Amino acid sequence: MLLRLPTSVSEAQECMTEGAVPIGGATLVWAAWQRDGFPDHAMSLRDLPEANTIGRETLGAAVVLNRIDDRVPEVMRRAAATVGTGAVRRTATVGGNIVGSTLRCLLPPALALDARAVILEPEGVNETDLAEVLAKRHLLLSLRWREPISSSYHKAAGEAGGPPPLVIAAAVHSADDGQRLLRVAVREDEEVFSDSTVCHTDAEQDLRALRDGSFGRLPAATWDAVRRHVTDLLARSADR
């Protein structure tokens, strides 16, 4: 297998047209490749500056999970810190987690941040939404979003071999018209729900608006956890 390490977007584009398979930390693909055979060409984005950004409003796809620190909003930082084991976090990347894994603990935070995906296509760099990236398995270069006022993350304790643990990610954003917007994403079993509402002065109204939307399908115990989490975030955001 030839591993390509492009240092520019045009070089990455060239690798892509030559059929190079994207690779992050290889924590998931390695075992499958050993079993089924290695591809002729693979491409890692670890030397590509556009895929290594870390900031209040951006996160590169080649960033290794344990490099995600307080430069990014709390919701994303805490999600990365609770993925797998220390050994996994030292190797696995943002792109591998969002596009390539089944658990995708970084997906709910990305949805709560209303993140857009910056992708590379044969024609060049484009921006799209996360649903399309997952459906078409685009080559992800980075995520970008607008910095929220505040955000928070909760992951329930999981059992080995059990269903994926409950994840709740939430963020309060300022909207262009001066209002505030609450975005919440929940992973329940293998399904990810996300919804948003304009913030009212009364948190109960925000909760009702969420429950009247897609969160109406959440089981009662999950909804109770969402309610507690969101109420706490709204209280913390009130004086910001």
Ligand X SMILES: Cc1cc2nc3c(=O)[nH]c(=O)nc-3n(C[C@H](O)[C@H](O)[C@H](O)COP(=O)(O)OP(=O)(O)OC[C@H]3O[C@@H](n4cnc5c(N)ncnc54)[C@H](O)[C@@H]3O)c2cc1C
d(CA 64, CA 62): 6
* 23 in contact with ligand X (CB under 6 A): yes
CA pair distance 221, 188, nearest whole angstrom: 11
Stretch that binds ligand X, among 27-35, 177-185, 188-196, 230-238 (CB under 6 A): 27-35
Q: Which helix (H) or strand (E) holds 56?
A: none
The reply to whether 181 sits near ligand X by the rule CB under 6 A is: no
**Please, which of residues 89-148 interact with ligand X by CB under 6 A?**
91-93, 95-97, 99-101, 103-105, 139-140
Shortest Cβ 52–ligand X spacing (Å) = 11
Which residues are bridge partners to 148 per DSSP? none
SS3 content of the chain, % helix, strand, coil (to 5): 35, 25, 35
CA distance 72 to 75: 8
Q: Is 27 in the site for ligand X (CB under 6 A)?
A: yes
Told to check if 154 binds ligand X by CB under 6 A, we report: no
Min dist CB 103 to ligand X, Å, is 3
Dist. CA 25–CA 46, nearest whole Å: 9
Closer CB to ligand X, residue 120 or residue 234? 120
Q: Which residue is nearest to ligand X (CB)?
A: 100
Answer yes or no whether residue 22 interacts with ligand X by CB under 6 A: yes
> Binding-site residue total for ligand X (CB under 6 A)?
29
The DSSP string of 139-151 is EEEEEE-PPPSEE
Question: What angle in degrees, to the nearest 10, is found between the helix axes of 203-212 and 220-237?
Answer: 140
The footprint of ligand X (CB under 6 A) covers 21-29, 45, 61, 83-85, 88, 91-93, 95-97, 99-101, 103-105, 139-140
